[in-house]
Structure 1
Amino acid sequence: MRYKNKNHKKSTPVLILSVAAGIFLTAAAIYAAVYFYTDSARKDQQELLVTYMKHIPEKEYKEMYAMLDKKTAAKISEEEFVRRNSAIYEGIEISSLKVDVKAYDKKQKKVKYHTSFDTDAGPVSFDNAASFVKEEDGYRLEWKDSLIFPGLEEEDKVKVSVTEAERGQILDRNGRVLAGKGTASSVGVVPGKLKDRDGAVSELAGLLGLEPEVIEKKLNAQWVKEDSFVPLKTVPKVSELDLLAVDPEDERAQEAGRQEKLLAVPGVMISDVEVREYPLKEAAAHLTGYVQNVTAEDLKKHAGEGYTSNSVIGRSGIEGLYEKELRGTDGCSIEIMNGDGELKKVLASVMVQDGQDIKLTVDAQLQSALYEQFREDKSCSAAMNPYTGEVLALVSTPSYDNNGFITGMSDEEWTALNEDEKKPLYNRFRQVWCPGSSFKPVTAAVGLDSGALDPEEDFGNEGLSWQKDSSWGSYYVTTLHEYSPAVLENALIYSDNIYFAKAALKIGAGTLQDFLQKLGFGEEMPFEITMSASQYSNTDKIETEVQLADSGYGQGQILVNPLHLASIYTSFCNEGNIIRPYLLYKEEAQKDIWIQNAFSEDAAARVLEGMKKVVSDPNGTGYAAHRDDVVLAGKTGTAEIKASKEDTSGTELGWFAVLTPEKDSKKPLLLVSMTEDVKDTGGSGYVVSKDKNVLDTYLTE
């Protein structure tokens, strides 16, 4: 800047002020710039940290690596970074990650923060700090292993130790194991010992019922080494007795022979392995159900519940119903180990909690006895203590060996089960069936309580067929026996369809429907296992007079679940009260009334006397089951299943319901059995003879 001399003295102070002012403004600008710089840097670095942390639960490790500074990136490759971070974060099953920025250290350019997240071993939280450096394209993260966990160094490893919970047992009322620990054999291969790999894989595929591609996939897994034992399939354990089995058709002998062939393949090893076992096999398969290894879908559905790829889960029956109680909680610890394999720090841990045992009211011997009697039939049985409600057996036949789901079925075995016309996988005791004459005691009790029936009234001898009038056209109600007088007790003894058709017409559709709704028809039973609801009509209304008449003797559109029918029968020996059935064992069994005063005490007693004579009277349809040592009461039933009233090619269902009617019975029992396709095997008499064999064993033990 230049000035004229004449103005020099006056202009000097101005110059000084101007310079002074210039210095002041420059200082203010510098202060503002520094403030802006530090505030912006803090904000940028905090946002970068939060962005970095957000990538972790999304498994976006490459995006995390892209945020590192050049110096860090020169020390660790993207591949190594992704491998280390994924192994740690996914190994501990991190979830619910939260980051709370606490402060910013200007001198060290560090963002101090608190982080917390959930793991398989419980919650983890810690304070930490992240450093950043300024590069030409902005701030970048100075990454160290300690950013994962404070104190974690490059040579350290994060170890996840899992202690698997022991699954609870399923026990019968006497402590007999229905599902529990067992031993099977694991067939596997040591790859380095295979001589002709292609030939060996082909032979093993044939012996194990596996596709060669499945075996190759197992052998080519990343973890497999030449000296690794690679499990291929779990098979039944063979004992020395099995090896000595004489009958070549015996399943044990066949399995022993198969395993001998497997061991003849170089490189094959067979070792014991602990598995879930079902000792009663087919006898209780529909009741106990089975477990299977979890699938990817299971892990997604049950995320956060502690399941891992090695877990099993209950698929059906009691195994599925009480999965939460049976499975327990795995123990887990997350530890930092130094380069020498020594424990450096425990980050989190939870103690193992074994599953609970589930004890049922079921009697394994009765369960097995019923299965053995009906094993070849399409049948089901429900047994209970009529005075306490304890369910003693639930059997469905034909059945399947649920151990097959543990050892693994071949495609052929699975296809055979599904295509079997007898439907062994179908759980019949959960369904509803036409009850036929086993329903007549219900009609009798409804008629007595409604006032529609006088038990001493003689309905007259109509012969073996009857119709109300010509309005029924060609339809007649038919029965099998003529007798006299046609009173209620005799109608029960001879199982007279005509009597109970007339009784239903006297009761009326509305009254019968009201009573049946009171008895639980149309609603789900209060029972641990979901049973199909019984019905009295397909349309919730008895539409016609013929349908009403047929309903009186358990035909028409009446469908009943076997356990529901057994529960209704409890009213006949409990002063008209229906006892609720239950399956979980109680040390002190006490009856719980499901439906109070379902029938009057007088009506229940009158019907019970008639049911006693069904078994004790030589003319009774259930006489074949009578005993001299134990009083029994019961009712048979044969239900016609046909496409129309004119159909003559239909089949028949056979029923027998029998109970011990005296409260001081040593072994109280109420048993209801139903068998399909009895048309040419003796009708309900076929079922009576089967149940008699069971009663002979059970009541005399």
Structure 2
Amino acid sequence: MDKKLLGIFAFIVLIILLAGCQEEPQEESAPDEAVAEETSEAETRAQQYIELWNNQEFSKMYGSFLNKGSKDVYGSLNFVTWQEDIYEQLGVSDVNVTYLPPEEAVEYSKDTPADFDIQVEIETLAGPVEFEQTLTLLHETHDEMEDWFVEWDPSFILPRLELGDQVEVQMTEAVRGELVDRNDRPIAANSEAMTVGVVPQNFTSPEQKQKLARALEIDVKEIDAAMNKSWVQPHYFVPIKQVPASDQLTLDRVFAVPGTQQEKSTFREYPYGEALAHLTGYIGQITAEQLEELEDQGYGPNDMIGRQGLERALEERLRGKPGVKVLAHRASGGDPVTVFENDAGEGEVVKLTIDAELQKSIFESMGGEPGASAAVHPETGETLALVSSPSYDPNEFLKGITGSRYQELSDDPNKPLFNRFAASYSPGSTIKPITAAIGLETGAIDPEEGVTIEGESWQLNASWGGFHITRLHPEIENPVDLHKALVYSDNIYFAQKGLEIGREEMIAGYENFGFTDNIPFLLNLQPSQITSKGTFGSDGQTADTAYGQGQMLVNVLHLAAMYEPILNGGTMYEASLFLEEDEPVVWKEGLISDDNAELLRTAMRSAVTDGYAQSANIGEVAVAGKTGTAELKMRTEDEGKENGWFVGYDSDNPNAIIAMMIEGIEDESNGSDYVAAKVASVLKKHKE
């Protein structure tokens, strides 16, 4: 063979041999895909486990995600039941476990553990518990299924927790913030007390329960209810009732009952009792309904919570945060190990604009008669007093009011539990200065112009039928001008002027003074209304409303505020309640000119010195104001009944406008002058 052809043939054979020596060809992406699949599976399993953890689905975590070794060592009793019990004792409301994936892709081999750094945040009733952990997953075969499974131990529940530990949760009561008045006088305060309770394993006989119930003046059912709550363990201290430290007689009786314990605590106290009850409200043990609604805010089944008044409205500011210490008692003995601790946090001390002594003076002046009163500062709108009479003692509720006593209060015909300062009432003639201000500002009332009015009654025309406007003092000399009409409270004058102002201007004028608005105030107050429909349906209704009858209703705090523009130059402020607020907030402004306001102030002083509020004409204080007698017409059962009003202030030093209403004065010979005397006595005391 030719040497050249032989060389070519040899080269071809060499190429074939070399090709035969190479491995079977594979797709280039196969190794990368295998790594990616393994990485994806491990991370996906970790993320699924974390999602179940955040939802506290411990049974699913155990059944589908725990590895064999963890199941063999701990079992479902420790993983599921123990974990659920501890979460319940801590009052866990939220779990947030997060996982931050590595910045670069990690090749997770099935032969080595897959580790993930996690951050655990558990929101408990005593605040957050936060810690870091490493979540380790192992690749195993379970029932012929290969997957990644979590390696677990008790430190995932709480740091330093070990198998066999007996966990004890010690709660430290939060110090509730106090309410103080403008002069730092306490009106809702904390005083020393003893919490009386039992440890269930030492308190097992019916005789013990009966003796304790008698000592605390409660029902045995209340003791059973406390001991049967879900968080109770045999060795836990279960609080039953707080007793003031000063009540040594009760504490001695309790101490004589075997198996009882006493722990120092603080006790809520209301030093002004009935005088401030409807304003402060009171605290009480959280109800099942409240607990269900507020559980995610850290409340527990034994917590006290604001139930009425400011205690309820300011709950978030006053409550504070309870403290908690979680102790692990080791199976091997020795001192317990603290696995978590969070100190209690105090609630705020809230300083109010209220003058507690003025409030007390107003309440006492009302003598337990049904009615309402409010006092405001005309230059700032600060609420100085809010009174509802008769009242109840909020301290009774704290001590554990009996069912019979509560029923007694509920059945009282004077309704001491009803908050009258939150309601609205027909204002009678106390609205006349406001009607006068509207008429003066619109030009419908000329203060110099007098009108001739004859007799006790008047009607616009025969179309009114049997409806007449009547007045109490027909002896007033004609002509009757604005000054006389205010001094002697002439209904016919104001009825006629109301018609001259006109329906639309009257509605607009009253709305400028805040009628139909929601009253800007922390507590819910019924808005004042002009009519039930907001419009006048007839001339008769317009005339009737102009002197505070018809369907007009006012809230007592709003009425006091409506007199502010007459004293300060035309501004009505939002009724403030917190002394911390820097500047008064204007509600309405430009309501009356200085000249017109001066006319009204002069007339209201003369109403006391020359008119029919003579009981307020005392030498110690230059009282000015306006009386009002409101006939109750809206319900047939109220026919013949009257409410008496007086809105007054010290004209020499107008630092408080007091509006007071007393129900059922129809039997008083001097009518609303009876109320004026009460306000004058308060102003005298307030000046001293």
TM-score of the two chains, using structure 1 as the length reference:
0.83
Q: Does 1:599 align with 2:586?
A: no
Paired letter, 1:183: E
Paired letter, 2:662: T
Structure 1 residue 672 displacement after superposition? 0.4
Counterpart in the other structure of 1:678: 665
Output aligned runs, 1:3-152, within 5 Å.
24-25=23-24, 42-67=39-64, 68-87=66-85, 91=90, 93=92, 94-102=94-102, 103=106, 105-106=108-109, 108-119=111-122, 120-121=127-128, 123-138=130-145, 139=147, 141=149, 143-145=151-153, 148=156
Counterpart in the other structure of 2:3: none
Larger CA deviation: 544-553 vs 688-697 = 688-697
Deviations 1:306-345 (A, max 9, x none): 4444543333322233333223445668899987557698
Counterpart in the other structure of 1:608: 601
SS of alignment partner, residue 231 of structure 1 = strand
Aligned partners of 1:211, 1:357: CA distance in 2, in Å? 35
Larger CA deviation: 431-440 vs 578-587 = 578-587
Change (3 A) 1:224 1:140: same
Aligned partners of 2:638, 2:186: CA distance in 1, in Å? 47
Change (3 A) 1:118 1:489: same
Aligned partners of 1:336, 1:480: CA distance in 2, in Å? 81
Output aligned runs, 1:253-332, within 5 Å.
267=259, 273-295=265-287, 297-302=289-294, 304-330=296-322
Counterpart in the other structure of 1:10: none
Aligned partners of 1:123, 1:154: CA distance in 2, in Å? 21
SS of alignment partner, residue 121 of structure 1 = strand
Output aligned runs, 1:525-536, within 5 Å.
525-536=519-530
Q: Does 1:382 align with 2:374?
A: yes
Q: Does 1:505 align with 2:502?
A: no
SS of alignment partner, residue 77 of structure 1 = helix
Matched residues, number? 659
Counterpart in the other structure of 2:6: none
Larger CA deviation: 493-502 vs 163-172 = 163-172
Counterpart in the other structure of 1:669: 656
Aligned partners of 2:379, 2:436: CA distance in 1, in Å? 22
- 1:627 is aligned, of 601, 618, 631, to 618
Paired letter, 1:57: N
Change (3 A) 1:511 1:345: closer
Structure 1 residue 633 displacement after superposition? 0.7
- 1:417 is aligned, of 393, 400, 409, to 409
Deviations 1:570-616 (A, max 9, x none): 2222233334432211598x655433220122211111111001111
Q: Does 1:569 align with 2:563?
A: yes
Q: Does 1:198 align with 2:188?
A: no
Counterpart in the other structure of 2:241: 233
Paired letter, 1:600: S
Aligned partners of 1:49, 1:226: CA distance in 2, in Å? 38
| Unaligned 5+ runs, structure 2 | 1-12
Q: Does 1:649 align with 2:639?
A: yes
Structure 1 residue 689 displacement after superposition? 2.8
Q: Does 1:658 align with 2:648?
A: yes
Structure 1 residue 508 displacement after superposition? 1.6
Counterpart in the other structure of 1:404: 396
Output aligned runs, 1:572-587, within 5 Å.
572-586=566-580
CA RMSD of aligned residues (A): 3.9
SS of alignment partner, residue 66 of structure 1 = helix
Aligned partners of 2:163, 2:193: CA distance in 1, in Å? 43
Output aligned runs, 1:199-218, within 5 Å.
199-202=207-210, 204-205=212-213, 208=216, 210-218=218-226
Aligned partners of 2:406, 2:523: CA distance in 1, in Å? 25
SS of alignment partner, residue 168 of structure 1 = coil
Structure 1 residue 109 displacement after superposition? 3.0
CA contact (8 A) 1:635 1:656 kept: yes
Change (3 A) 1:198 1:647: closer
Counterpart in the other structure of 1:391: 383
Aligned partners of 2:561, 2:228: CA distance in 1, in Å? 57
Change (3 A) 1:99 1:161: farther
Structure 1 residue 566 displacement after superposition? 1.1
Aligned partners of 2:396, 2:417: CA distance in 1, in Å? 12
CA contact (8 A) 1:562 1:672 kept: yes
CA contact (8 A) 2:196 2:240 kept: yes
Output aligned runs, 1:422-441, within 5 Å.
422-441=414-433
Counterpart in the other structure of 2:5: none
Larger CA deviation: 595-604 vs 92-101 = 92-101
Deviations 1:491-540 (A, max 9, x none): 22222212221221222212211211111111123333342221211111
Output aligned runs, 1:473-512, within 5 Å.
473-481=465-473, 482-485=475-478, 486-512=480-506
Aligned partners of 1:430, 1:446: CA distance in 2, in Å? 26
Q: Does 1:522 align with 2:496?
A: no
Structure 1 residue 679 displacement after superposition? 1.5
Structure 1 residue 301 displacement after superposition? 3.8
Counterpart in the other structure of 1:253: none
Aligned partners of 1:227, 1:163: CA distance in 2, in Å? 17
Change (3 A) 1:595 1:100: closer
Counterpart in the other structure of 1:3: none
CA contact (8 A) 1:492 1:614 kept: yes
Larger CA deviation: 289-298 vs 444-453 = 289-298
Aligned partners of 1:65, 1:648: CA distance in 2, in Å? 69
Q: Does 1:178 align with 2:176?
A: no
Paired letter, 2:149: L
Structure 1 residue 351 displacement after superposition? 6.6
Paired letter, 1:498: I
Structure 1 residue 160 displacement after superposition? 6.9
Structure 1 residue 193 displacement after superposition? 7.1
Larger CA deviation: 522-531 vs 96-105 = 96-105
CA contact (8 A) 2:155 2:162 kept: no
Larger CA deviation: 427-436 vs 462-471 = 462-471
CA contact (8 A) 2:470 2:491 kept: yes
| Unaligned 5+ runs, structure 1 | 1-13, 241-255
Paired letter, 1:171: V
CA contact (8 A) 1:235 1:408 kept: no
Structure 1 residue 294 displacement after superposition? 3.6
Paired letter, 1:671: I
Structure 1 residue 22 displacement after superposition? 11
SS of alignment partner, residue 655 of structure 1 = strand
Q: Does 1:552 align with 2:546?
A: yes
Paired letter, 2:441: D
Change (3 A) 1:398 1:636: same
Q: Percent sequence identity over matched residues?
A: 34
Aligned partners of 2:419, 2:70: CA distance in 1, in Å? 63
Aligned partners of 2:55, 2:563: CA distance in 1, in Å? 60
CA contact (8 A) 2:91 2:299 kept: no
Deviations 1:473-506 (A, max 9, x none): 1111122212213222222222221222122122
Aligned partners of 1:88, 1:685: CA distance in 2, in Å? 66
Aligned partners of 1:493, 1:601: CA distance in 2, in Å? 20
SS of alignment partner, residue 425 of structure 2 = coil
Deviations 1:437-461 (A, max 9, x none): 1111112222222222233333224
Aligned partners of 2:304, 2:91: CA distance in 1, in Å? 20
Counterpart in the other structure of 2:464: 472
